[in-house]
Structures are given as structure tokens and as C-alpha cells.
Structure 1
Amino acid sequence: MFEQARCWIDGSITPASEAKVSVFDHGFLYGDGVFEGVRFYNCKAFRLPLHLKRLQRSAAALQLTIPYSSEQVVQAVAETIAVSPLTDGYLRIIVTRGVGVLGINPATCMQPGVIIIADQLQMVSDAQREQGVRAIIASTRRLTPDRLDSRIKSLNYLNAILARMEANHAGVEEAILLNDRGCVAEGTADNLFIVSDGILLTPPATEGALAGITRQTVLELAAANGIPAREAVLTPYDLYNADECFLTGTGAKLIPVREIDGRKIAECPGTRYQQLTQAFSALIQQETGD
């Protein structure tokens, strides 16, 4: 199952089958840590500096010190990709609070740990990417910023997992989370865009969305290609009446949505989605191609 996966753990590279972390690591015990997902193409990490900047900000919000400099993490990423049998793949960069005694007090953890995993990640099938996925609006709500800010990419994903379980029970591929005011936040592991009257819209991070790297890239590509785009507060009404809808994320890349709560989206895959997907693929080649 993990034959192609390779792991870098605090300076040592090992096959996934031999990788070990302590059962007393607070990242494992309590989800006390942060992470980044990074794609690599042609053996080169895509937009790694932006991911490391977000990793640092997530860690700072949790008063978690990353025990390596950015330059050292970049080198560790390069080493992990080099030993991977994959040319194109997915990286998971994890910073845990480290080993401590039982109990949630982080003061008992003396040394944070860093893990980098290189493997494959396919969130949807090729057929689903071509025809679009179906989604529901979950009853599970995204946590508010005064509880846990969505811009912190922490190891605790129970909120999203519960929403994904709702999607599984409903027999669809994705769930969309609302915030406590009933406004759209994001998908379970991806940002959300709609097209309405020719304008590309996405919820701001303050509504409970992750400040996604792919999300920002899509906004940049929209500007470069003359597509009107802006952040906007959205409700389920806006989703039901959207001309197009699609999801974005490092793992997801771009995925069209064809149905929300049994309501068909007018265009899937839509014109704007196809235009941006082509631009995104061209950007990947431009930044990582030989």
C-alpha cells in the first residue's frame, strides 16, 4: 500500500514501512502540530516558499517552534523527493509538538519533531474530475476564529472528517461546511469557488476558509486571464444558483462540482473552470518543467 512512500524524519530518510514516531508524541496524542501539503512535478516542489511561509505562520499561532531553518527544510524536501521513485507526487510536511508525558500540557515537550512524507495522493478519480463531483452542505459547522482560526493548518482535522463522513453517508463525494452564521466556508479539504454572472467568487478566510495556496494561485490566474474575481460572503442560495462551482487545493488541484444537495449546477465542467485548469497546468509546467 505504501511501497512508493518515503519519509524524512528529523534528518533520517526511511521507507514508510520502517518509519516510526513515538506514541508519546503530542502530535499523535492530541493533534498538537501543524502541516503543509505540497505537490511536486518533474521532481520539483511547486510553490514551496509559499507553503513554508504558511507553515511558519501556523506554527507561530500555536507557539510552536520549527527546529529547522527554511533553508534546511527546503534541503530536506529536495532530499525526500530525490529518494522517491515518483516524478510527480505529493509531500506532507509535518511539525509536531514532540514527545512529552501524558496530559495536554505542551510544556512537557522539549523538542518539536519534523516529518516529510513523499507519496501519491489522488482525491478523486479521473472520471469524477471530468464529469464533476456531487456535494452536500454538511450539518457540521466550521469552527469560528475565536475557537480555532481556519488559517491555522493544524493536525486536528476532526471537524472536516465529520463533514466528510456526512458526505459518505449521503453517497456523494464531498461536503461543504458553513460557518456559525450559515455562510459558506469551504469543502472538507479544499477551497470553494463559484461563477455567478461571469464573476469568480470565493469566500474570504475570515468566513472560515483556509487561506489556500491553490486558491490564491487561481485568483492570480483569473486576473492574468481577464476573469473578474473577488472574495465574497456566500450562502447556500448562492451555491444553488451558481453558473459554475469548483473546488481547489494542493491535494485536489481543481475539481468541478456538478451537484449540491441534489441541485444541478448549470455548467459542469464550466467555461471558466476549463480556462483556469488549462492556465494552472501551464503554470505548473512553467515553474517546474525542465
Structure 2
Amino acid sequence: MIIYLDGEFVPKERAVVSVFDHGLLYGDGVFEGIRAYHNRVFKLREHLDRLYDSARTIALEVPLTKDEMQEIVLETMRRNNLREGYIRLVITRGVGDLGLDPRKCKKPTIFCIAASIQLYPDELYEKGLEVITVSTRRNIPSAVNPRVKSLNYLNNIFAKLEANLVGVPEAIMLNNENYVAEATGDNIFIVKNGVLITPPNYVGILEGITRNTVIDIARQRGITVEEKVFTLFDVYTADECFFTGTAAEVIPVVKVDGRPIADGKPGEMTWELIAAFRELTKVDGPLIFPEEAAGCYSDK
């Protein structure tokens, strides 16, 4: 495996960061998880926009342009001879001292990893997930804003620990007002009477790239989409439920807190959106190996 690290492409054995890096010491940094399909890096520009927005929010100056960062992602895929896979792009505050002061960190650390990933087995996409609601509340925007995709993921990890204790793969997190926010690593959607509903940004969610893509797909297909607050009552009584995320893609949820969603099987709208999303991955995003694309997929 070849990894990009601060201007070099190095074997994973040499891809090391300092123990004084504030990304390690304090979770001070930002990242993106990105997918590649069919010789394309899916929604790469949208991921880079979110990465740079996260960095700006925490006053982390990125020394590279978005075009330069895009080329790093593509070249990392090429160096590993990958046409499909998962990409982790990370920017930390950089090396400092043992104090908190970010001014002591003179230069950000930037690295990019490309590898394969399968978050859930295929059978769960066919049968759907069984999940629980956890007691851990989502970070409030006035503390650690969930819209910043930061290296500090302890809030999500606390929720994942609760899910692990009862043997389910994912969990729903509420905000401090008891509204449904999101899952530990995914966004949530429900369907009621033909309307697709998902929580708005202000309840305390990470604005997912896959989430926004599914909203666009649904509206293009004439499906009414509402971004509004809802509670667990609305989840329990929904006609359908599913999660979205870069690693998870679009995956049905069929049971929440022991309660089947409708008939306990993935719903028709969920299947429609899964199929449409998978088709979009064939044509959206910059090519990794442009010379292989002739006659296959058109560049957008």
C-alpha cells in the first residue's frame, strides 16, 4: 500500500506521524471518507468542499488548493492501482508541543490513504438493519459542531459502544431536545405516506454527501422531500427507514428498538433510491485512469 504523506508517496510502513501531532494528541484536524467506483472518485468535489469548510471553521489553513488536493486523491488511487475503493483524506493541525495552543503548530500534516472497504455484508442490504436508539446524545452545535467533520469522533464512538453491547451494527442518536439526529456514522431518512423525510442541519447532524445526493435523486424522480425535525414516534410508525453514508451507501433499516418498521422488510422507495444511487456512481466524479475511459463512461 502506498500512502500520500506531506508531499511524498511512501509505503505504509513509512507513513508515520509525530507523537506531538495535535491531530493525535487532541483530535485537532479534519477528514473526509470518499468512495471510488467504476474508475471514478464519486462526488470528489463535494467532499473537498466539505473538507475545506470544516478546516475553515476550526481556523485550520490548508496550504494546498482544491485542485492540488484532488490530484493527490487521484494519484493515491493510481499509485495503488485502484479503480474502486475507499479513500481517507486527513488534515491535522500538525506538530506542536504538549500544550493546547494551535499557534504552536506551524504546518498542517496532510495524508491520504486508499484501500478497499465493505462496511456491511451484502445480506444486510437485502434484509435490512436492526438498530437501537442510544442514550448518548449528539454533540450540540454550540459545543463541537457536528457539521465539522473533525478528528474528534469520541461522541460517535460512545454511541457505537452502546450498539456493540447489544450486538447491533448501528444506532440512532438523538439531540439534546430528543429529536432524531443521525446514526453513529450515517444520516437517517424515513418515508411516510410517500414523503421522504430527513432531519435538517440545525438539529445537529453532519451534512452527508450521500444524504444530499439521495435528496437530489429523489427530487429528480418527483418524490417530495422534507427536511424537518421528527421524533422516535415518527421512526417507529414510518412506512420505511434507511441510512445513508459514504461507506454504507444507502442501506435499509427494518427494525428500531425491537419494533419492526412497517412489515419489517425494505420498502419500495428505498429500493428505488438504492438502484438510482448505484447508477449514479457509474458516471459521477473525475476519472482515475482517463486513458481507460474511452467507450465506457462519459466524463462529467
TM range (shorter): over 0.9
**AA aligned opposite 1:216:** N
What is the match of residue 86 of structure 1?
82
Unaligned runs of 5+ in 1: none
Matched residue, 2:195: 199
Offset, 1:33: 0.2
Instruction: Tell me if the contact between 2:20 and 2:98 (Cα under 8 Å) persists in the aligned partners.
Output: yes
2:120 maps to 1:124: yes
Once residues 95 and 286 of structure 1 are traced to their aligned partners in structure 2, the CA distance between those partners, rounded to angstroms, is 28
User: Given the alignment of the two structures, is residue 275 of structure 1 paired with residue 272 of structure 2, yes or no?
Assistant: yes
TM-score normalised to the size of structure 1? 0.96
For 1:29-74, what per-residue CA distance to the aligned partner results, in whole angstroms no more than 9, with x for missing partners? 1100001111111232111111111111101110001111111101
Q: How does 1:69-148 map to 2 (within 5 A)?
A: 69-148=65-144
Q: Which amino acid aligns with 1:13?
A: F
- The answer to whether the 8 Å contact 1:67/1:113 transfers is no
- The DSSP-based 3-state class of the residue aligned with 1:139 is coil
1:286 is displaced (CA, Å) by: 2.3
Structure 1 residue 22 and structure 2 residue 38: aligned?
Answer: no
Equivalent position amino acid for 1:148 in 2? V
What is the distance in 2 between the residues matched to 1:204 and 1:84?
A: 38
Select 2:208's aligned residue among 209, 212, 217: 212
- Three-state SS of the structure 2 residue aligned to 1:257 is strand
Task: Count residues in correspondence.
Answer: 286
Shift of 1:143: 1.1
Aligned counterparts of 2:9 and 2:128: Cα–Cα separation in 1: 38
CA RMSD of aligned residues (A): 1.1
Q: Aligned equivalents of 1:175 and 1:134: distance in 2?
A: 9
- Structure 1 residue 15 displacement after superposition: 2.7
CA deviations on 1:75-100 (whole Å, 9 max, x unpaired) are: 11111010123321011110100000
How do 1:244-259 residues align onto structure 2 when only pairs under 5 Å count?
244-259=240-255
Asked whether the equivalents of residues 43 and 81 of structure 1 are also in contact (C-alpha less than 8 Å), the reply is no
Would you say the 8 A contact 1:150–1:205 is kept in 2? no
Displacement after TM superposition at 1:14 (Å): 2.0
Amino acid across the alignment from 2:38: N
Q: Is the 8 A contact 1:95 1:113 kept in 2?
A: yes
SS in 1 for 2:76: helix
Secondary structure in structure 1 of the residue aligned to 2:135: strand
In structure 2, C-alpha distance between the alignment counterparts of 1:251 and 1:14, rounded to whole Å: 25
Question: Does the 8 Å contact 1:10/1:113 carry over to 2?
Answer: yes
Equivalent-residue separation in structure 2 for 1:122 and 1:269 (angstroms): 20
Give the Å deviation of 1:149: 1.2
Q: Distance in 1 between matches of 2:215 and 2:151?
A: 27
CA contact (8 A) 1:98 1:112 kept: yes
Match of 1:240 in 2: 236
Aligned letter for 1:93? L
* Residues 116-163 of structure 1 deviation map (CA, whole Å, 9 limit, x = unaligned): 110122211111121111111110000111001111000010000110
Q: Is the 8 A contact 1:8 1:116 kept in 2?
A: yes
Shift of 1:287: 2.1
In structure 1, give the amino acid aligned to 2:11.
Answer: P
Q: Percent of aligned pairs with the same residue?
A: 47
Contact 2:93 2:102 in 1 (8 A): yes
Q: Distance in 1 between matches of 2:101 and 2:121?
A: 42
CA distance in 2, matches of 1:16, 1:230: 44
Q: CA deviation at 1:18?
A: 3.0
Task: Name the CA distance, whole Å, in 1 between partners of 2:261 and 2:12.
Answer: 41
Q: Which amino acid aligns with 1:255?
A: I
Please give the secondary structure, in 2, of the residue aligned with 1:285: coil
Partner of 2:147: 151
- Normalization by structure 2: what TM-score? 0.93
8 Å CA contact 2:163–2:171 kept in 1: the answer is yes
